[in-house]
Amino acid sequence: MDAVTRLADETGWPILADPLSQLRAGPHDRSHVVSTGDALFHRGRIPGLPEAVLRFGAPPTSRAFTTWLEDHPHVPQVVVDEVDGRDPSQTARLMVAADPVGFAEALSVEPAAIGWTEAWTDADRNARRALAGMPFPSEPAVVQTLAERLPAHSNLYVASSMPIRDVDLFFPCVDRPVRMLANRGANGIDGLVSSGLGASATGTATFVLAGDLSALHDLGALAAAARLRLPVTIVVVNNDGGGIFSFLPQSKLPRHFERVFSTPHGLSFVPVAQALGLPAVGVDRHDQFVSALDEPGPLLIEVTTDRDANVRLHDEALGRV
């Protein structure tokens, strides 16, 4: 982390900080950090065309940024990664198998033009203001409230699909150190809650942000959380199915969309958790959610949202950027 922020300071380069980069939360230098890259690329609000892109580690969460890289092959992308070959979109001009920290410390380049980082951070501030204040209960508001309330030195374990994308879009930079974790990959939905229990087994307060389908795939972990009395709070955003599919073209096929893609289940998680011995509460107001987050774990918090309203809120928020 420090090596990357020092490199940005020496070169005048902005840092497009993926939520899993650990660069958005903490007392470190964040003067070069841009947390709204997904919105800026989605809306075409980037301040200018970069001469190159230097990526450290895994591919970005942001689909808008990935699409931009695919659409701009003339902008060279250099990937520095200890794991060789992580370039699923085949956009890298050069892959460097190296320790990112050592590479950042050894790199020597000419500084960027004066004002380059400032243009990005100004755009970031404007975008963050446009995205602020989402209404509760909604999936963006859940993420924004977590950003406001998570205690220092806690973990946030984020589900795949919509939760990690909402964290990418709506989780701003904060002064408190919060470690963000996720199971990204081919099988990211399975074992999400159990992974969160593992993170909390160190004694670190851990908050799991789960969609209803990822929670359904790991119901046994709710019983384990109750039995082991771990310091874990499981926030289940229940939109009755696979909410991410409402953003995709197949949502325009109503005859088969619900049964094949959304897969609604009609279940509530509060009675399920209570039956397994895990304290649980459903909330539909912001003050209720805040109070529940302040309670010690183990605890399940269920926030019920609407898939169609979620698409509309995202469109409206991005339209303000």
DSSP letter assigned to residue 25: B
Q: What is the pLDDT of residue 41?
A: 96
Rounded to whole angstroms, the Cα distance separating 166 from 297 reads 24
Can you point out the beta strands (E) in the chain? 15-16, 33-34, 53-56, 77-81, 94-97, 154-158, 178-182, 206-211, 232-238, 280-283, 299-304
Rounded to whole angstroms, the Cα distance separating 252 from 263 reads 15
Q: What is the pLDDT of residue 144?
A: 98
Q: What is the pLDDT of residue 216?
A: 92
Instruction: Look up residue 24 and give its two tokens.
Output: 């958005």
Burial pattern 122-142, b for ≥16 Cβ within 10 A else e, equals: ebbebbbebbeebebbbbbbb
SS3 (DSSP) at 284? coil
Q: What is the pLDDT of residue 305?
A: 92
Q: What is the pLDDT of residue 310?
A: 84
For residue 246, what pLDDT band results from cuts at 50, 70 and 90?
Answer: low
Q: What is the pLDDT of residue 55?
A: 95
β-bridge mates for residue 302, sequence order:
236, 282
DSSP letter assigned to residue 101: H
For residue 110, what pLDDT band results from cuts at 50, 70 and 90?
Answer: confident
**Phi and psi based region of residue 167 (left: phi greater than 0; alpha: psi -120 to 50; beta: remaining):** alpha
What is the mean predicted confidence (pLDDT) over 261-276? 87
Rounded to whole angstroms, the Cα distance separating 38 from 23 reads 15
Q: What is the pLDDT of residue 254?
A: 73
* pLDDT (tens digit per residue) in 182-232: 987 656 677 899 999 999 999 999 999 999 988 998 999 999 999 999 999
- The pLDDT of residue 255 is above 90: no
What is the strand order of the sheet 206-211 is part of?
Answer: 178-182, 154-158, 206-211, 232-238, 299-304, 280-283
- Which residues 6+ apart lie within 8 Å of 1 measured at CB? 22, 23, 26, 28
For residue 113, what pLDDT band results from cuts at 50, 70 and 90?
Answer: confident
Q: What is the pLDDT of residue 83?
A: 81
Query: What are the structural domains of the chain?
Result: 2-130 (3.40.50.1220), 134-320 (3.40.50.970)
Among residues 132, 116, 155, 133, which one has the least CA distance to residue 36? 132
Would you say the C-alpha torsion 269, 271, 272, 278 has a positive or negative sign? positive
For residue 244, what pLDDT band results from cuts at 50, 70 and 90?
Answer: low
- The pLDDT of residue 299 is above 90: yes
Instruction: Look up residue 271 and give its two tokens.
Output: 């009675």
Among residues 165, 146, 142, 159, which one has the least CA distance to residue 196? 159
Q: What is the pLDDT of residue 87?
A: 85
Rounded to whole angstroms, the Cα distance separating 112 from 232 reads 44
Q: Name the residue with higher pLDDT: 251 or 162.
A: 162
Q: Name the residue with higher pLDDT: 311 or 131.
A: 131
What is the mean predicted confidence (pLDDT) over 111-119? 87
For residue 111, what pLDDT band results from cuts at 50, 70 and 90?
Answer: confident
Q: What is the pLDDT of residue 292?
A: 98
For residue 242, what pLDDT band results from cuts at 50, 70 and 90?
Answer: low
